[in-house]
Amino acid sequence: MAKGYLVLFDFLWFFINRFMRTRGQTLQASYREFIEPLGEHVKYALTLTLKGSDTICTPYANGYGIYKRKALLDEDKLVSSIRYFNAVLTRSLFGNHARHPNKQHWAKPLAVYSIEGRNIHKRIHIHAAVGNVPERHQEHFESMVKTAWQRCDFAYRDNKIVEVYDAAGWYEYITKEIGYTDNDCLDIVNSVIPPFIEQSRRT
C-alpha cells in the first residue's frame, strides 16, 4: 500500500513539475520575444551588484548636518536604486537635453534591466542591456557607469561593463531566472525605451 502511494506521489510530482516548467518556459519566451527587437540598439552589457545593508545619509531640513541611519536592502530601496542610477546616467550622457521637451524622444539611454538573486542565496545584482549612448561618450562609458552607480545607496564595488556583440545571447542570460527562481526578474516597469526606438520597433 505504501509503495502505491509513493508511486502516485512520484507521478503527481513529475506532472506538476513538468506543468510548471512548461508555463515558466512559455513566460520566459514571451519576455524574450518582447525585448528581442531592441537588440539592434544594444551596445553594452552591465552587471551592477548591491550590498545587503548600507548607511543612508540624509541632510537635515534646516541644511545643517547630516542624519545617518543603517538600512537593509528591500524591494522599495532596490527599485529606488535602479531609478536613481538611470537618472544620474541619463544626465551624464545627455545633460540638459534630457529635460528638454523637444529632445526627450531621443535624449535618454535604452536600458533594459533585470534583477537576480532575490530568491536564491547569492548577492543581489542588476543586469542591464544598454544602448543609445552618444558616440562622444563611448570611450569613457565604463567610468561614467561606475561613477553613476557609486552615487546610489547600496552600491557595491563588484561591477562589470562590457561591449555586447550578441544581444540575443545577453537577453537569454538576463532572463534565465524567469520560470525557475524569479518570474519577475525582468524589470519591465523601470526599463527605459527611448520613444524613437519604441516607434521604430512598431513599424
Structure confidence at residue 21 as a pLDDT band (50, 70, 90): low
Better-predicted residue by pLDDT, 105 or 191: 191
pLDDT of 121 higher than 80: no
pLDDT of 17 higher than 70: no
Structure confidence at residue 56 as a pLDDT band (50, 70, 90): confident
Better-predicted residue by pLDDT, 106 or 67: 106
**Lowest mean per-residue pLDDT among 58-67, 82-91, 177-186:** 58-67
Better-predicted residue by pLDDT, 201 or 12: 201
Per-residue pLDDT, 77: 94
Q: In the predicted model, what is the mean pLDDT of the chain? A: 85
- Grid-cell match 524569479, residue found: 182
**Lowest mean per-residue pLDDT among 7-11, 115-119, 126-130, 185-189:** 7-11
Better-predicted residue by pLDDT, 199 or 149: 149
Per-residue pLDDT, 65: 73
**What total number of domains does the chain contain?**
1
Per-residue pLDDT, 109: 96
Q: What is the extent of the structural domain holding 126? A: 2-202
pLDDT of 1 higher than 50: no
Q: How large a percentage of the chain has pLDDT more than 90?
A: 54
